[in-house]
Structure 1
Amino acid sequence: MTSSPYLTALQRDGFVVIPSLLSPDEIAPLRDAATKATTLTRSGKWPFFRTVPKQFPPWPDVVPPASEGGIWGVQHLLHPAMPGRSEFAQLYFSDKVLRIVEELLEVGTTTTGQEEEEGGGEEMLVMELLNLLVAPETKDFELRWHRDGISETATSDEELQLLHTNSPNGRQFHAQYNIALCPDTSLIAVPGSHRRARTDAERNADPYEPNLTGQRVVKLEPGDVVFYDSNILHRGAYQHKPEGGPETRLTLHGSVGLKSQDGKVRATAVLQHGVGQWIDREEAALHAGERAERMRRNLIAMGRGDDVGYALQG
């Protein structure tokens, strides 16, 4: 028996589903906060969002009308002006999430001398992103097959080199996850594809191919979480919400980084979303414990994101 079952599954398959990470009592306040954040954003009162039909940043400044699909994501749940920020921060910095992150990144915190006496230490984790994925309005929306941070135009040799750069010896520089607050079957991935170049069939397939050989639909119930390697070949398929009905998809989409590891790659992936523009404000203090503040300071050290560019386009 391995002492790191989640890491073993992640390295083998490229993703690992952990059922019932959250209890019903934990889901309820998060679902309430997520619903309010979504309603606020749909009404044009929250300025950070992902819009249909765009897949990658930069995002438009105006929410498209519901007749065009509206939004499919709410950005920056840890922003100081976000209602419900406290509930989101408690989850993001919770021991139950960070313990899994530490296993997947094969790291913990280290302490030395004076720092240990002061109850601190060198924090190896970096606060990155916590966003919300939601159902579009009036029309379904799909993301094309992709790997995060590797262009679809890359040759096989370029893919292999980038896979090694992004995850040397199979080790990730960050842990990325989806936590479902409603039933969710939106993530579709090809197990094992995070360790190889695309096959000819994958390379030549339609960008929205609904039945790619070997694909698996990742099924999550409320409270389940999937951690997945950002190098895996994956896409999303989002069904629209019923007009006037309740939210049918509320999935927390987060990432936690590893300090001092390939900073340029992570700076682009994280700061392209604009988090660097507000994270160093005085009012951005998280009030979620000393570890949260150490992780926030690690993010501040990455910079504001000026001229980092975008990992993918479209």
Structure 2
Amino acid sequence: MTRAAVMGAGSWGTTFAKVLHDAGTEVVVCARRPEIAEAINERRENTDYLPGVDLPEGLRATVDPAEALTGADIVALAVPSQTLRDNLAAWRPLLPPDAVLVSLMKGIELGTGRRMSEVIAETTGASADRIAVVGGPNLAREIATAQPGAAVAACSDEDAARRIQAACMTPYFRVYTNTDVVGCELGGAVKNVIALCVGIAFGLGFGDSTRALLMTRGLAEIARLGAALGADEHTFAGLAGLGDLVGTCSSPLSRNRTFGENLGRGMTLEQTIAVTRQTAEGVKSSEAVLELARKYGVEMPITEVVAAVMHHGMSISEAASLLMSRSPKPERYGV
């Protein structure tokens, strides 16, 4: 039997662990806080991140990384993206030498512009054929309650991608394989930034035409950056691109859209941060994505105004004015 360790017991880490268990994989969740591990083991519920969702009896949790990692064939990493490097530095001596390391995170590292797979490679020394990404329109609560969903398992090694596919394919969760790690990661990271902007528009009371505009032009930004970094453009028409973008921008379950919505309704940035219980990855990643775009000479106007609002004090009204007053362009450019 395949054995998996899920490092991180937030909503998506817990949900992915449940998916692995339901697919017949032996799985242990490693939580940071003892009370979460205890709730999973004794109450069969992650009371902090997935309250009301029943977890299966065979799903175990621990606060001991060594216990979780021992004998693991798959190590799924589900921590906030900006903490990954430090966490991996601590876990590196415990990682099984042949395990596939799977990123469940959707962010870009501040200061370095590294994608999560690059952070994994730099920190652990693992080769590309042992590093994978799982992405797609996966809203944790919906998947945790066995609503139909799908994801992409991406790895440069097709056999490794198929092993991940087999480890988490269930009657309610379909998994497709891909070898385009760059495209799958960029789709997941940048859509969070676009979702912040869509949320702001929703909070301001704008309708579906505005949201469709932002999602479509947001997808164009993702594709331009992807092309510059060598991604396969077809990836952005799939689950890890368009699928993840639509899911995150459309659902009230999305942390990033909700964060933006609160800003659009008049809350200050500080107030919004205070009421946000889980990490909205796009807030910090917006600055990192913009730095990456500038490095490669890619124009990303939505990302630029989101980063300015989140980090440089730009007002919502000024951001909207800047976007709508840009010089005319052909619909397809810069790719």
TM-score (norm 1): 0.27
Which is richer in strand?
1
Higher RCO (CA 8 Å, separation ≥ 6 residues): 1
